[in-house]
């Protein structure tokens, strides 16, 4: 657990802020796309917000702070009420992850503005949050590509096995527990270098 020695208070606060931003954006995107595809009107209005507390998963936050990879609170989606049915779940997964990824390099546009407009101390703090947001977003996007219950791509399992929807939702908690163990034990590779090369940022 020597990684804890590198977690200064500045790093901790920056990663918390960065993950809250990711949570607001990614969770809001999932709810927004699900609402757009819903046949019978907006059934996800409670989640249709950029308030990160609505989408926040506390285990996801903890893992994002420690390992720069986390997840948002899962959104139960009824594929039978979506345009396209099970294909609608694929649209939600691909759309939310792709847009979240596209936002990461766009945030670079804020750096010169922050450097020019804010006092040095405040500017450094904001720049640290920007970097943390980009790192946490890239790590979290890569993690959420795994088709596991409780993660964004877990909706693909529902698309493949619609008759198992209830069972898949019940598996979310034990799968998240196993995922936390895997991250703490170092069984999952760090995806950040690959993701940084992919988007050409930070």
What are 106-134's pLDDT values in tens digits? Answer: 999 999 999 889 998 999 999 999 999 99
Residue 94 has pLDDT above 50, yes or no: yes
The confidence score (pLDDT) of residue 169 equals 95
- Find tokens 């405040």 and name the residue: 122
How far is residue 193's CA from residue 200's CA, in Å, rounded to a whole number? 10
Q: pLDDT by residue (tens digit) across 10-54?
A: 999 999 999 999 999 999 999 999 999 998 766 788 899 999 999
Please classify residue 167 by burial: count the beta carbons closer than 10 Å to its beta carbon, then call 0-12 exposed, 13-18 middle and 19+ buried: exposed
pLDDT confidence band for 163 (50 / 70 / 90):
very high
How far is residue 199's CA from residue 101's CA, in Å, rounded to a whole number? 8
Cβ-based neighbours of 154, under 8 Å, separated by 6 or more: 74, 147, 148, 168, 172, 175
In degrees and rounded to multiples of 5, residue 70 shows phi and psi of: -145, -170
The confidence score (pLDDT) of residue 44 equals 84
Domain ranges of the chain: 2-199
Residue 64 has pLDDT above 70, yes or no: yes
How far is residue 7's CA from residue 64's CA, in Å, rounded to a whole number? 12
How far is residue 88's CA from residue 103's CA, in Å, rounded to a whole number? 22
How far is residue 173's CA from residue 151's CA, in Å, rounded to a whole number? 11
How far is residue 119's CA from residue 164's CA, in Å, rounded to a whole number? 55
The confidence score (pLDDT) of residue 159 equals 94
The confidence score (pLDDT) of residue 42 equals 65
């Amino acid at each position: 657990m020597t990684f804890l020695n590198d977690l200064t208070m500045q790093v901790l606060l920056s990663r918390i802020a960065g993950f809250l931003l990711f949570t607001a954006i990614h969770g809001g995107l999932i709810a927004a796309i699900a609402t757009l595809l819903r046949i019978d009107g907006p059934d996800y209005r409670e989640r249709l917000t950029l308030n990160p507390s609505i989408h926040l998963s506390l285990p996801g936050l903890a893992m994002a702070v420690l390992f720069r990879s986390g997840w948002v609170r899962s959104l139960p989606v009824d594929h039978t009420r979506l345009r396209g049915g099970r294909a609608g779940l694929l649209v939600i997964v691909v759309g939310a992850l792709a847009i979240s990824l596209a936002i990461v390099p766009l945030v670079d546009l804020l750096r010169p503005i922050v450097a020019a407009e804010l006092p040095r101390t405040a500017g450094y703090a904001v720049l640290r949050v920007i970097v943390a947001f980009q790192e946490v977003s890239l790590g979290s996007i890569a993690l959420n590509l795994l088709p596991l219950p409780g993660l964004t791509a877990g909706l693909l399992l529902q698309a493949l096995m619609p008759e198992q929807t209830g069972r898949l939702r019940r598996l979310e908690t034990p799968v998240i527990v196993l995922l936390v163990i895997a991250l703490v034990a170092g069984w999952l590779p760090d995806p950040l270098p690959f993701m940084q090369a992919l988007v050409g940022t930070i």
